[in-house]
Amino acid sequence: MKKQIPNLFTLINLIFGCIAVVMALQTDNINIYTNDEFNSSFNVPEKLAFASLFIFAAAAVDFLDGFVARLFQTSSEMGKQLDSLADVVSFGVCPAVILYQLLRLSFIKEENGLDVAFAWLLPAFILAAAAAYRLAKFNLDPSQHFGFKGVPTPAVGLLVASFPLILHYGSSFHYINEIMINKWFLYGLIITLSSLMVSNLPLIALKFSGFSVKNDFPKLILMGIGIVSVLFLKWLAVPIIFVAYILISLTFKNKATT
C-alpha cells in the first residue's frame, strides 16, 4: 500500500489538470466594451482564472508526489511514467487550452473577431505537442538528474497559467495586459515556449543538494528573486521568475550539467 501513496498524489495532479481543462473551456461569458473607434476592453472570464489556479494546485501536488516517493523510498518506473502522463495534461494540454482562449480573446477585440477561423486558433495546441515530446524525451534520458535539457514542462505550464490570473485580478502595468492579449505576441510565445521545451538548453534542477550554499547558490539567487517579485508584483512575478530561471541557468551552466 505504501508504494501506491506517491501514485495517488500523481493521480490527484491529473484530476486537477482535468478540472482545469473543464474550467478553461467554460468561458462563454465574456464582457466586451467598445467605443466609436472600436477600441475595446474586456473582463477575462473568472473560470479561466480558476483553471489557472488548478494548474498551480496540480504543480503543488506534482512536487509532493516526488517528495513522498523519496520519503518512502518507493520510486518506480511505473510512477515515473504515470507522472509524465499526468503532467502532459496539467502542464501541456490545459495551458494549450488557455492559450487557445487567450487567442480567442485577442481576436474578439478586433472588428468581426467573433467570426475568426479555427485555423487561427489551432497553433495553441503546438504547446501540448511540445510538452508531450519533452516529457517522453525526459523519461528516456537518465542524464537529467542534476540538470535539465530544455525547459521543464511544469515551468512552462505555470508561466501560461499566470496570464489569466494577471489579467483577471489586474495589473498596474496596463500595457503588459495589452501585450498578453496581442495575437502576435501569443503566436511568438507559443513558438518560443515549444522550442525551449524540446531544446537541449542546459537548465538547473531546482532540488537542493544538502543545503550547501556553494552548490545551491544559483537556486538561492532564484529564490530571492522569487520572494521579492511575489511581494511587489503578485502574479506578475511568475513571468519574472521564469525568465530569471533561464538566465541564471545559462549563467551557471556548470551547475546544470553536474
Q: What integer is the mean pLDDT of 58-65?
A: 89
- Helix spans in the chain (H): 5-25, 46-72, 77-88, 94-108, 126-139, 153-169, 174-180, 183-198, 217-233, 237-251, 253-257
Question: Residue 146's pLDDT is what?
Answer: 66
Contact 124, 100 (CB under 8 A): yes
Spans of all domains in the chain: 2-28+41-200, 207-258
> Does residue 69 have a pLDDT over 50?
yes
Q: How many CB atoms lie within 10 A of CB 86?
A: 26
Tell the residue number behind the cell numbers 464582457, with chain if given: 31
Q: Which of 28, 18, 31 has its CA nearest to residue 48?
A: 28
What CATH number was assigned to the domain covering residues 2-28+41-200?
1.20.120.1760
Instruction: Give the span between the Cα atoms of 184 and 242, in whole angstroms.
Output: 20
The residue type found at 160 is: V
Single out the residue of 102, 203, 200, 191 nearest to residue 145, CA to CA. Answer: 203
Q: Distance between CA 140 and CA 220 in Å, rounded?
A: 29
Nearest to 20 by CA among 193, 164, 174: 164
**Which letter, b or e, does each residue of 202-224 get, where b requires 16 or more Cβ atoms within 10 Å of its Cβ?**
bbbbeeeeeeeeeebebbeebee
What is the mean predicted confidence (pLDDT) over 85-96? 96
Helix (H) or strand (E) holding 202: strand 202-204
Task: Give the span between the Cα atoms of 139 and 136, in whole angstroms.
Answer: 5
Q: Which residue has the higher pLDDT, 246 or 253?
A: 246
Running DSSP on this structure, what letter comes out for residue 40?
A: E
Please tell me the predicted confidence (pLDDT) of residue 213: 61
CA distance 72 to 88: 25
pLDDT digits (tens, 9 = 90+) for 97-131: 999 999 988 888 776 666 788 899 999 999 999 99
Alpha-carbon span 246 to 237, nearest angstrom: 14
C-alpha cell at 116: 475568426
pTM of the complete model: 0.88
Reference 95, options 30, 7, 155, 36; nearest CA is 155
Note the pLDDT of residue 29: 54
Most confident of 28-37, 49-58, 147-156: 49-58
Q: Which residue has the cell 482545469?
A: 20
CA angle 8, 11, 13 (to 5 degrees): 115
End-to-end CA distance of the chain: 35
